[in-house]
């Protein structure tokens, strides 16, 4: 069990690394960006091991990924998107998207429904995670600005 986890995290790390090359990240940022993917996968597995629901696990993992990206972007003074993509990539529901298709071909409609719903839910969880962080950070920076003006 432990071994599959480690393989999965390593693959997520390498996959994010591949994506960082693909979107042509700057050299000095590639390491931190792909680390984000590995950490996100680790965090996701951690949530899964706490036996929370699938939706919750994806939501918190995407919150983690976005927070990581925002942090890195602020530290390295780079656009946030640069770090969001490699960090979120391991969460993309490529698997359930494919199985939706496969079940459709096999005319196994109950499985089509199951897989399609799962794909949509994962996508929703990721989107919610990303926007949740953006909204909270916006509110925080709004308050920070107000306080500055107040001083």
Q: Quick check: helix, strand or coil at residue 151?
A: coil
E-strand stretches of 30-96: none
Q: Which of 6, 49, 53, 101 binds other proteins (CB under 8 A)?
A: 101
Provide the token pair at 33.
Answer: 């960006």
* Distance of alpha carbon 58 from alpha carbon 128, whole angstroms: 10
Residues 77-96 that bind other proteins (CB under 8 A): 78-79, 81-82, 84-85, 88-90, 92, 94-95
Asked if 99 touches other proteins (CB under 8 A), the answer is yes
Using alpha carbons only, what angle is made at residue 79 by residues 46 and 35, rounded to the nearest 5 degrees?
Answer: 30
Which CB, 14 or 150, lies closer to other proteins? 14
Query: Residue 72 is encoded by which pair of tokens?
Result: 């890195």
Per CB under 8 A, contacts with other proteins among 54-73 are: none
Residues that bind other proteins (CB under 8 A): 7-8, 10-15, 17-26, 78-79, 81-82, 84-85, 88-90, 92, 94-95, 97-99, 101-102, 104-106, 123, 127, 130-131, 134-135
């Amino acid at each position: 069990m432990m071994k599959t986890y480690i393989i999965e995290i390593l693959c997520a790390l390498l996959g994010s690394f591949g994506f960082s090359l693909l979107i042509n990240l700057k050299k000095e940022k590639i390491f931190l960006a792909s680390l984000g993917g590995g950490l996100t996968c680790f965090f996701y597995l951690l949530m899964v091991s706490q036996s929370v629901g699938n939706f919750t696990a994806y939501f918190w993992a995407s919150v983690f990924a976005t927070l990581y990206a925002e942090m890195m972007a602020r530290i390295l003074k780079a656009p946030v998107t640069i770090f969001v993509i490699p960090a979120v990539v391991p969460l993309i529901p490529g698997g359930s998207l494919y199985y939706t298709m496969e079940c459709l071909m096999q005319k196994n409609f109950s499985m089509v429904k199951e897989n399609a719903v799962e794909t949509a839910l994962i996508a929703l969880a990721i989107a919610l995670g990303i926007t949740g962080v953006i909204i909270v950070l916006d509110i925080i920076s709004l308050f920070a600005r107000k306080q500055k003006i107040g001083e």
